[in-house]
């Protein structure tokens, strides 16, 4: 039987989602859990696929993976979570066709970037974001990683202010390495008045204009959702969702206290 999982994770302590030697990664922890439980022997023999890579420090709410197993009764979130560290949790599963490929069958990905500060002209950011919609060559917004083509399609960009935070949602068919974070850098530069829309149009024409820009910090980026054409029949595990929510609430309270402590340490009064 082929099983798909929805995974969420806090990426702060991991060197990205894709397995790498000698460092902690999301897939490294997942494969270890699946092997320990006897769900798979190896990713290759299980025909494992993943909806997409996330960089070191990037988070996910709805990363999708799929694999073959002869123990589908064990391939459910609450059992898998018993072998995963608290920063990674499965929260839904589905039986899928043998041909299902979590990456190739995905029709779009939805990312959200959260950045702090009030120094941005939001109307400028919104106006500039319209120039990115549609199909463009995003070579200037990526790190080369052997991709055959740097042409991608962005379906939607929403920008909104939430208190002291600015949230940028980007939906596209697929994304290059660092692409979302570099788009955020470009939009924030325009929002600060450092660059303008003419510059952004040049950046979308790498044949005649080339410029490298730094990606926005990884900690602000979350993969929110991966969309598929077919109905997947997801079964959510309410116990796993409640458990993760309780653990995360403790993290939230700790970070709120730490923010206050840092504010006091920064005070010169």
In the chain, domain spans: 2-105+230-248, 110-222
Catalytic residue among 55, 105, 169, 229: 55
Q: What is the mean pLDDT of residues 81-106?
A: 95
Has 111 been labeled as part of a binding site?
yes
Q: Residue 169 pairs with which residues in a beta bridge?
A: 112, 158
Q: Rounded CA gap, 106 and 149, in Å?
A: 18
> What is the topology classification, in CATH, of domain 110-222?
Alpha-Beta Plaits (3.30.70)
* pLDDT of res. 119: 81
Mean pLDDT on 242-268: 91
User: In CATH terms, are 2-105+230-248 and 110-222 the same topology?
Assistant: yes
- pTM: predicted TM-score of the whole model, two decimal places: 0.92
Does 101 participate in catalysis according to the annotation? no
Per residue in 158-180, pLDDT tens? 999 988 899 999 999 999 989 99
Q: What pLDDT does residue 139 have? A: 93
pLDDT by residue (tens digit) across 20-55? 888 999 999 999 999 999 999 999 999 999 999 899
Would you state the pLDDT for residue 164? 87
Residue 192's Cβ-side half-sphere holds a number of Cα atoms within 13 Å equal to 9
| pLDDT confidence tier of residue 148, bands split at 50, 70 and 90 | confident
CATH number of 2-105+230-248: 3.30.70.580
Contacts of 67 by beta carbon, 8 Å cutoff, 6+ apart:
2, 3, 34, 39, 40, 43, 46, 47, 48, 49, 75
Mean per-residue pLDDT, 181-192: 96
């Amino acid at each position: 039987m082929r099983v798909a999982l929805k995974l969420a994770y806090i990426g702060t302590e991991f060197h990205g989602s894709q397995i790498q030697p000698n460092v902690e990664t999301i897939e490294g922890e997942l494969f270890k859990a699946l092997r320990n439980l006897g769900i798979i022997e190896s990713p290759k023999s299980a025909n494992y696929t993943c909806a997409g890579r996330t960089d070191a420090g990037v988070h996910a709410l709805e990363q999708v993976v799929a694999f073959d197993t002869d123990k589908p009764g064990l391939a459910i979130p609450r059992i898998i979570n018993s072998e995963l560290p608290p920063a990674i949790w499965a929260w839904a599963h589905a039986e899928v066709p043998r041909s299902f490929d979590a990456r190739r069958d995905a029709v779009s990905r939805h990312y959200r970037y959260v950045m702090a500060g009030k120094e941005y002209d939001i109307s400028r950011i919104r106006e500039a974001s319209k120039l990115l919609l549609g199909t463009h060559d995003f070579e200037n917004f990526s790190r080369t990683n052997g991709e055959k083509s740097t042409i991608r399609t962005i379906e939607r960009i929403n920008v909104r202010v939430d208190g002291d935070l600015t949230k940028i949602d980007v939906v596209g068919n697929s994304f290059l390495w660092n692409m979302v974070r570099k788009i955020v850098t470009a939009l924030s530069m325009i929002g600060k008045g450092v660059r303008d829309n003419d510059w952004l149009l040049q950046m979308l024409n790498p044949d005649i204009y080339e410029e490298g820009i730094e990606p926005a910090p990884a900690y602000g980026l979350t993969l929110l959702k991966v969309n598929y054409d077919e109905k997947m029949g997801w079964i959510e595990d309410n116990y796993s969702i409640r458990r993760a929510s309780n653990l995360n609430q403790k993290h939230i309270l700790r970070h709120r206290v730490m923010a206050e402590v840092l504010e006091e340490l920064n005070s010169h009064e």
